[in-house]
Structure 1
Amino acid sequence: MTSSSTPGLARFNTLAGGGATAALHEVCASAAWVSIILSRRPYPTVEALLSASDAAMAELSGEDLAEAMAGHPPIGRPKPGDPASSREQRGMAGASEELRDEMLELNLAYQKRFGHVFLICATGATGEQMRDAVKARIENSPEQERGHVRTELGRINRIRLSRLVEEEKD
């Protein structure tokens, strides 16, 4: 992503409150994150918007993180009718039945251990890479895992925000 302004960024900067709120909720389900991003508009560059997203993510409380995570479906089960989760989890689309079953078991074990879905920036990752990540991270302490979740949410938000300000609207 370049650090220059784009027509999509200009559109985002001038989007009316309700439209901007709805667009940002598609990026991240945390109301606090959405509020922070909206409060800092207008953004001079895409990089400034992405940096604001990183800063907002760092400010989120545990409750805010839980709210953000609740907007993400388990790996291997994208939300029906949600093109973002389907696109992001494309690496599982062609996975074998064996790998899908293994991911379901791992997702359930992870959720039982940590109380929330396994969250990873799945864009560009294969099903095997996602499986290996959940296997490695399930051994983390809750504190370590919160750090991973915050990082992964930040990566996801950056990708989604970039897509939001790149899209041309008619």
Structure 2
Amino acid sequence: MTQRLPTPPASGLSWLNTADDGPARRALLDVCACRAWAGTLLRGRPYPDPEALLAAADAAVAALTAEELAEALAGHPPIGRPAPGDPRSAREQRGMAGAAPALRAEMLRLNLAYQERFGHVFLICATGLTAGRLLDAVRERLGNPPETEREIVRTELGRINRIRLGRLLRAAAPAAPAGPEEGHPR
């Protein structure tokens, strides 16, 4: 079942459209570790609205070569082992945080089997998924042919990028000034 992801707010889009290439590139590489993907989005600026940015991001993922896809995947830690000190990684993999030791051990074993079979990290948009669902997903996908799995990975990468772009636009959006009701005098 395809989950409809929310469209990010337009207010942060002005930063992305007008930021110097260096900061914009760094922000985009934080979304997706593939230089070609970030370069494609940079060259597409300015975007008239968030939907146009998301469409460009999806098209850029679809156009990645095998090497570029591998570069993007290298930026993702294995499920169950978020990058140390990275709050985003921990947030995205929250479903594994309270998993029982046996489930965590099984996830590690299956992650390694997946990596051995396909040559890259098991990638899934883990946001909102339980540890059990993540474990079921890796079990199901281990049996896929490589070409099928490559397309699933591409889809999952696109979903992750959409969520991360939404967060980027929200973070770049100007904050509303705090009013006296929040304890700040005007």
Question: What TM-score bracket applies, with the shorter chain setting the length?
Answer: over 0.9
- Structure of greater Rg: 2
Q: Give the aligned partner of residue 33 of structure 1.
A: 37
Does structure 1 residue 21 correspond to structure 2 residue 29? no
Q: CA–CA distance in 2 between the matches of 1:34 and 1:105?
A: 33
Structure 1 gaps, min length 5: none
Q: Give the aligned partner of residue 57 of structure 1.
A: 61
Does structure 1 residue 166 correspond to structure 2 residue 170? yes
Q: Secondary structure at the match of 2:13?
A: helix
Q: After TM superposition, give the deviation of residue 10 of structure 1 in Å.
A: 0.7
Q: Give the aligned partner of residue 82 of structure 1.
A: 86
Q: Give the aligned partner of residue 148 of structure 1.
A: 152
Does structure 1 residue 5 correspond to structure 2 residue 2? no
Does structure 1 residue 104 correspond to structure 2 residue 108? yes
4+ long deviations beyond 3 Å: 1-4
Q: Retained in 1: the 8 A contact 2:34–2:72?
A: yes
Q: After TM superposition, give the deviation of residue 5 of structure 1 in Å.
A: 2.5
What is the aligned-residue RMSD (CA, Å)? 1.3
Q: TM-score, normalising length from structure 2?
A: 0.88
Q: After TM superposition, give the deviation of residue 3 of structure 1 in Å.
A: 7.5
Deviation sequence 1:24-45 (CA, Å, 0-9, x none): 0100011110000000001111
Q: Retained in 2: the 8 A contact 1:76–1:93?
A: yes
Q: TM-score, normalising length from structure 1?
A: 0.96
Q: CA–CA distance in 2 between the matches of 1:56 and 1:46?
A: 15
Q: CA–CA distance in 2 between the matches of 1:142 and 1:155?
A: 20
1:139 to 104, 126, 143: 143
Identity of aligned residues (%): 62
Q: Secondary structure at the match of 1:166?
A: helix
Structure with the larger helix share: 1
Q: CA–CA distance in 1 between the matches of 2:93 and 2:15?
A: 28
Summarize the Cα distance change of 1:149–1:3 in structure 2 as closer, same or farther, 3 Å threshold. Answer: closer
Count residues with an aligned counterpart.
Answer: 169
